[in-house]
Amino acid sequence: MTRKTAIIILATVVVLAGLSVGYLIIFSGQEAGTTGGETSGGTDAEFSFPTSGTSADTTAAEETTSTELENIGQIPKLRQITPTLVSGFTTFERKINPNDTTIPESQRNQTETVYRFVHRASGNVYETTENRLTVSRVTNTTIPKVQEAMFFNSGDGVILRYLDDNNDIETFVGKIEDAPADPNIAEDESIYSALNGSFLPKNVSTLIKSPTKDSFFFIKDNRGYTFDGAAPQAQTLVFEYPITEWLAEWINNTIILTTKPSWLSEGFAFAMNPTNGNLSKLLDDKYGLATKTSPDLTKILYSEYNGDTISTGIYDLSTNEDKPLTVRTLADKCVWGKKNTDIVYCAVPTNLASADYPDDWYLGAVSFNDSIFEINLKEDTATMFTGFPLIFDISNISLNEQEEYLVFQNKKDLSLWSLDIRPNAEITE
């Protein structure tokens, strides 16, 4: 890193410190060197959330999750998983009939995609599958106003983030377990699983998971730590830097750190070794910089502020070639293909009004109506999914493991949706 770059980065600290206040507003509204062995001082005690009791105002909202969907009939290609506000979700594959010895083994090994998510108002975990419309409750926790949720361990582990009474960010790392027999729990509630675990330190600002294992990286103040989901209290300090506000992705064995974007400040993106914290610069000189890195670490899709609008580009890390993307959108609205890294799926605004991007979008000052495109970088083409109703401002977009479904939230109401992207799928409104 050059001296000039270091000076510029340090100069952004003042701006980013101010933006940290904005981060807390968004959170409440929503959503170098080795120093191995040092821990961050988290709480050691195990903790169990209550497994009974749900407030009346959240119960009514949750009941619509199943009853409304049961009446749809055939599963549509564009499917609303739940109309209720969702804090976070995951998809994973599960065998359909693993213990049915009356059917051939090949059928017992067949899998289906499971959608598991956290209900925002109550903190309860729910699930459904690609082959059924009814939604089942998994846990009966009572954790009001969960702002962010992240799953691990094939959906059996969950991290819940919310604000306490002092507006400090709490981060709970839990395991979904079978509830013990308890005569004090009503019979109809005894089928739910318990949620046991422990807390990370307060006010963790950034938290991400490895794509290949249940390892995590988080930042508190100006320090970054790693831990394993099975032992969240065994945290290792790997990173210390003056800037405290980062967005992060974990790609293979590399963590991509991008300064939290604002149209007011120049953004930087770095690759970090999660073992020793070493940094190498990838991108800079872009205001409002947001990034999404390809799974093979060869390309970065980025968006930047460009005179009251958005510019979107692809930066090739092997050739240092920088060229515009076929469409204009925020990097947050894109997800890379897993099997073919020349494919990227993006939600593209049809009403890209003049604004201070991405700040105004994060804060809800502007909202979009999005179309969804499949973009082939090798052929330089963008194919729109036709028949897609323009009612979505898409966020948190992801692909299931088999790359058959795009799963996303509508930022307008935080509802959860799935789009069947298989070649023979036809969208029905």
Torsion of CA 96, 98, 100, 102, to 10 degrees: 90
| Identity of residue 173 | V
pLDDT at 266: 95
pTM of the full structure: 0.83
pLDDT in tens, 339-359: 999 999 999 999 899 999 999
Torsion sign (Cα): 279, 283, 288, 290: negative
- How many CB atoms within 10 Å of residue 174? 26
Torsion of CA 365, 367, 373, 379, to 10 degrees: -30
Tokens matching residue 22: 């904005």
Give the number of other Cβ atoms within 10 Å of residue 11's Cβ: 11
Length of the chain, in residues: 429
Tens-digit pLDDT profile for residues 178-210? 754 444 433 455 578 888 999 999 999 999 999
Task: Give CA–CA dist 196/82, Å, rounded.
Answer: 25
Lowest mean pLDDT among 39-53, 109-123, 390-404: 39-53
Distance CA 391, CA 269 (A): 32
What confidence tens digit (pLDDT) does each residue in 222-273 have? Answer: 999 999 999 999 999 999 988 888 999 999 999 999 999 999 999 999 999 9
